[in-house]
Amino acid sequence: MTLTALALNCTLKTKRAEDPSSTDRMLKLLAAAMEPLGVTTEFLQLADYDIKPGVTSDEGNGDAWPDIRRRILDADILIMGTPIWMGQPSSVCKRALERMDAFLEEKDDEGRMVSYGRVAAVAVVGNEDGAHHVSAELFQALNDVGFTIPANAVTYWVGEAMGSVNFVDLEEIPDVVQDTLNLVARNTVHAARLFKALNRAGFAGDPNS
């Protein structure tokens, strides 16, 4: 069974930036761990897109979100990758989550959100403490808007506080990071396969809808 994943890179950098993205490196490592499990991954660097502020699925006036929303709902797996800034997910990440707030009102005839039956995982990088805090924020937000979070669905790397070495600068990936990447890949793909086999069904509808 072939699965698709959409990796949203929430770095503050655009693809035109001279400095490489640590978030991009982590996302590509996770995609590489999922590829042997039958997953094809598409990458979007959100800073390259004009995503309007708001909480609807289309804020008009050239808003890039409607197409990104379509890609999210077309995929079996959503991966949110973010750097840590001031102990928080990036502002780019928060904007994407705010736009997915629209899923709360977008439901089928049985009251189920359009996002049901999809799984989500998280990738976090930074040079300061906060990876657990950031993943907790993303887990809660993604669960609120209808995604299923598999067991152990976060991979992260945090460098020395106030240090100058970024994840993208590492010559070798630490064994513990690679082991975690492989665990996230296995668990996320397993959950996505279960939902795909059910045609993303399996959730009870609202009897009052």
Rounded to an integer, the average pLDDT of 133-159 is: 97
pLDDT at residue 53, rounded to an integer: 97
Task: Find the CATH number of the domain harbouring 85.
Answer: 3.40.50.360
Q: Does 161 have pLDDT greater than 70? A: yes
Q: Let me know if residue 181 belongs to a domain.
A: yes
So what's the pLDDT on residue 206? 74
Residue 156: pLDDT band by 50, 70, 90 thresholds?
very high
The answer to whether residue 207 is domain-embedded is no
Query: pTM of the entire structure?
Result: 0.93
Q: How many domains is the chain partitioned into structurally?
A: 1
Say yes or no to pLDDT of 208 above 80.
no
* Residues 3-35: tens digit of each pLDDT: 999 999 999 999 887 788 999 999 999 999 999
Q: Is 204 part of a structural domain of the chain? A: no
> Mind listing the pLDDT tens digit for each residue in 137-146?
999 999 999 9
Residue 138 lies in a domain: yes
Output 127 or 67, whichever has higher pLDDT: 67
Confidence of residue 200 (pLDDT cuts 50, 70, 90): low
Look at residue 52 and tell me if it is in a domain: yes
Cβ contact 147:78 at 8 Å: yes
Q: How confident is the model at residue 178 (pLDDT cuts 50, 70, 90)?
A: very high
Q: Would the pLDDT of 209 be above 70? A: no
Report pLDDT digits (tens) over 78-129: 999 999 998 999 999 999 999 999 999 999 888 899 999 999 999 999 987 8
Q: Which long-range contacts (CB under 8 A, 24 or more apart) does 193-196 make?
A: 193/1, 193/3, 195/76, 195/117, 195/118, 195/119, 195/148, 196/1, 196/3, 196/76
User: What is the average pLDDT across 62-86?
Assistant: 97
What would the DSSP string read from start to end of 86-130?
TTEE-HHHHHHHHHHGGGGT-B-TTS-BTTTT-EEEEEEEESSS-
**Is 159 among the domain residues?**
yes
User: How high is the mean pLDDT of the chain?
Assistant: 94
Residue 24 within any structural domain of the chain: yes
- Range of the structural domain that residue 136 is part of: 3-197
| Percentage of residues in the chain having pLDDT higher than 70 | 99
d(CA 23, CA 125) in angstroms, rounded, equals 6
- Residue 201: pLDDT band (50, 70, 90) is low
pLDDT on residue 185: 98
